[in-house]
Amino acid sequence: MVTTTAAPPRDEDTALARVRERVELVAPAINRGHLDRDREAVFSRDAWRELAGTGLFGSCLPEEVGGHAGSLTDLMDVVEGLGYAVRDSGLNFSAATHLASTGFALNGFAGPELRRLHLPSVAAGTSIGCHAITEPETGSDVLSMSTTGRFDGDQVELDGLKTYVTNGPVADLAVVYVRTSDTPGPLGLSAVLVPRGTPGADFGPALDKTTLRTSPSDSCA
Ligand SMILES: Cc1cc2nc3c(=O)[nH]c(=O)nc-3n(C[C@H](O)[C@H](O)[C@H](O)COP(=O)(O)OP(=O)(O)OC[C@H]3O[C@@H](n4cnc5c(N)ncnc54)[C@H](O)[C@@H]3O)c2cc1C
């Protein structure tokens, strides 16, 4: 049996209210076949493209990179709408990961070159992002991570293994958190952008999961 819950009504006319409306419009197409995809653990790129077409992935990114410059509260409203409209909860999880992990880190902390190169595709959803913090021996206790980064000019050489990386198997961009100095605590950590295809970076095969099966995750080195 499928139960439906109506989304709370909205009457604002903002860019993100229109994103939310467009998500509701594309939801029936995305919802078609979602149980089969879940059974077979299939991430749907067609469904991702439908979501991307709504402008969802630019929700909180600046207008000059194609975003809507919304606030975090606006984003929560849009993601709530996604949850009401789209039944593919793995896809929603992947979308939320992309929204929270890649765009925020790049927009908040990257230099002008990385922003220019990557933010437009992150906002458009034509690239898929992930973030890698967790390690096989380090979950909640993030500060004890053992993956290291060694600076070499404007490049960083990474050494370590990450796991439970949502979107990893399909990601174009990974924001990888590593220890780059002996300074204890968070000040010794850095976030490094690793595009797919970077020599030596292995994005790994998909892990088998019991739930959120349409959201692919992996271990990467
Ligand atoms: C579906 C899914 C998607 C994920 N996606 C990502 C991702 O994209 N990127 C990424 O980096 N990671 C991801 N993770 C990993 C997630 O962040 C970790 O699972 C989480 O940090 C917990 O780590 P752990 O699994 O090693 O559990 P542990 O840290 O070993 O914790 C096990 C249990 O012990 C409890 N516990 C731990 N420390 C304490 C303490 N000091 N006091 C009391 N209780 C404690 C915890 O609450 C938990 O119940 C994902 C995990 C899941 C399940």
Is the shortest distance between the CB of 212 and ligand 1 below 6 Å?
A: yes
Q: Nearest C-alpha to atom 19 of ligand 1 is from which residue?
A: 139
Q: What is the DSSP string of 23-81?
A: HHHHHHHHHTTHHHHHHHT---HHHHHHHHHTTGGGTTS-GGGT-----HHHHHHHHHH
So what's the pLDDT on residue 2?
52
- Residue 56 near residue 23, CB atoms below 8 Å: yes
Which two tokens mark 105? Answer: 């880190």
Please check the confidence at residue 173 and state whether its pLDDT lies above 80. yes
Residue in 94, 98, 134, 138 to alter for ligand 1 test, most ligand atoms within 8 A of Cβ: 134
Q: What tokens appear for 160 in the block?
A: 């370590």
Confidence at residue 109, expressed as pLDDT on a 0 to 100 scale: 93
Is the C-beta atom of 75 inside 6 A of ligand 1? no
Q: Ligand 1: distance of its center to the CA of 139 in Å?
A: 4
Using a 6 Å cutoff on CB, does residue 52 contact ligand 1?
no
Beta bridge partners of 40: none
Q: What is the mean pLDDT of the chain?
A: 93
- What kind of fold does domain 15-124 have according to CATH? Butyryl-Coa Dehydrogenase, subunit A; domain 1 (1.10.540)
Give every CB contact of residue 215 below 8 A, 6+ residues apart in sequence: 43, 90, 91, 93, 94, 97, 166, 167
The CB of 166 under 6 Å from ligand 1? The reply is yes
Domain locations in the chain as residue ranges: 15-124, 129-220
Q: Is residue 6 predicted with pLDDT exceeding 80?
A: no
Q: How many other C-beta atoms are found inside a 10 Å radius of the C-beta of residue 149?
A: 21
Residue 221 confidence (pLDDT)? 82
Question: Which residue would you say has higher pLDDT here, 7 or 152?
Answer: 152
Provide the pLDDT confidence category of residue 153 given band limits of 50, 70 and 90: confident
Ligand 1 centroid distance, CA of 134 (Å)? 8
Distance CA 203, CA 165 (A): 9
Kindly report, residue by residue over 181-216, the tens digit of the pLDDT: 999 999 999 999 999 999 999 888 899 999 999 999
The predicted-structure confidence for 78-93, as pLDDT tens digits, reads as follows 999 999 999 999 999 9
What is the pLDDT confidence band of residue 52, given thresholds at 50, 70 and 90? very high
Is residue 140 in contact with ligand 1, taking CB distance under 6 Å?
A: yes
State yes or no: pLDDT of 166 exceeds 60.
Answer: yes
pLDDT > 70 fraction of the chain, expressed in percent and rounded: 95
Beta strands of the chain (E only): which ranges? 129-132, 148-152, 155-159, 162-166, 173-179, 189-195, 217-220
**Mean pLDDT over residues 62-74, rounded?**
94
- Residue of 93, 104, 140, 167 to mutate, ligand 1, most atoms within 8 A of C-beta: 140
Per-residue pLDDT reduced to its tens digit, 135-149:
999 999 999 999 999
**pLDDT at position 57 over 60:** yes
Q: Are 92 and 82 in contact (CB under 8 A)?
A: yes
Enumerate residues 6+ apart whose C-beta is below 8 A from 112: none
26 lines ligand 1 (CB under 6 A): no
Q: Which residue has the tokens 């979308």?
A: 95
Cβ proximity of 123 and 19 under 8 Å: no
CATH of 129-220, one of 3.50.50.60, 2.40.110.10, 3.30.70.141, 3.40.50.2300: 2.40.110.10
